[in-house]
């Protein structure tokens, strides 16, 4: 389904799986052709069927909102859907005890497999930051939030590590901009 003002598929647009289109249409409660964070929140659940926090939905929308409207269209949603499925697959693989959450050890294994070489100190800090109930476990949503952060920070670090040696120089203002943009 093409929405007003968007190019139709088949004319330079990637083909979108009909099940993704159907899911988009069911989430697009106001039939605007755009999904807001509130609409996305109504559609996403953790393994315990609790809804995602609105902040998480805003983060995910902002990752894919290419035109900075605060919403995502069907094509942006298709990209988000792909990432959610990738995160779900990683989460399921590394939830070795099938508890529905990931321990610090399981998270470290997942990040290592995803190519992030992180220290034990980082892992403790990540667990402290995202394990809001202090259970030493991350829910699927917590895992997504942590993954979004590590991907964003790694991308910003790589922009500054021009020689790809694992070090980068930044001044205080640059550091503060990186930090605030990832809160």
Q: Check if the beta carbon of residue 130 is closer than 8 Å to that of residue 146.
A: yes
Predicted TM-score (pTM) of the model is 0.76
Return per-residue pLDDT of the chain as tens, 183 residues. Answer: 333 234 344 445 568 889 899 989 999 999 999 999 999 998 887 766 788 899 989 988 988 888 889 999 999 999 998 988 888 899 999 998 888 889 999 999 999 988 888 888 988 888 988 887 778 899 898 999 888 888 888 888 888 888 888 888 888 888 888 787 776
pLDDT of residue 176: 86
pLDDT of residue 14: 63
DSSP letter at 28?
-
List the one residue out of 27, 20, 62, 59 whose CA is nearest residue 42: 27
Q: Which domains does the chain have, with CATH numbers?
A: 18-181 (1.10.238.10)
Question: Which residues share a beta bridge with 137?
Answer: 103
Rounded to 10 degrees, what is the CA torsion of 77, 157, 162, 66? Answer: 20
The secondary structure of 65-126, three-state, reads CCCCCCCECHHHHHHHHHHHHHHHHHHHHHCCCCCCCEEHHHHHHHHHHCCCCCCHHHHHHH
pLDDT of residue 13: 52
pLDDT of residue 72: 95
pLDDT of residue 77: 92
């Amino acid at each position: 389904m093409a929405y007003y003002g968007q190019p139709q598929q088949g004319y330079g647009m990637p083909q979108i799986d009909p099940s993704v289109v159907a899911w988009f249409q069911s989430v697009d409660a106001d039939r605007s052709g755009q999904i807001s964070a509130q609409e996305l929140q109504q559609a996403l659940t953790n393994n315990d069927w609790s809804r995602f926090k609105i902040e998480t939905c805003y983060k995910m929308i902002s990752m894919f909102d290419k035109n900075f409207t605060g919403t995502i269209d069907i094509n942006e949603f298709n990209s988000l859907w792909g990432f959610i499925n990738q995160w779900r697959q990683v989460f399921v693989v590394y939830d070795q005890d099938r508890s529905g959450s990931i321990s610090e050890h399981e998270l470290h294994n997942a990040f290592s497999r995803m190519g992030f070489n992180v220290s034990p100190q980082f892992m403790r800090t990540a667990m402290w930051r995202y394990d809001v109930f202090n259970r030493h476990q991350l829910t699927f949503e917590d895992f997504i939030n942590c993954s979004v952060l590590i991907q964003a920070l790694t991308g910003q670090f790589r922009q500054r590590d021009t020689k790809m040696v694992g070090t980068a120089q930044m001044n205080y203002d640059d550091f503060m901009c990186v930090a605030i943009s990832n809160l």
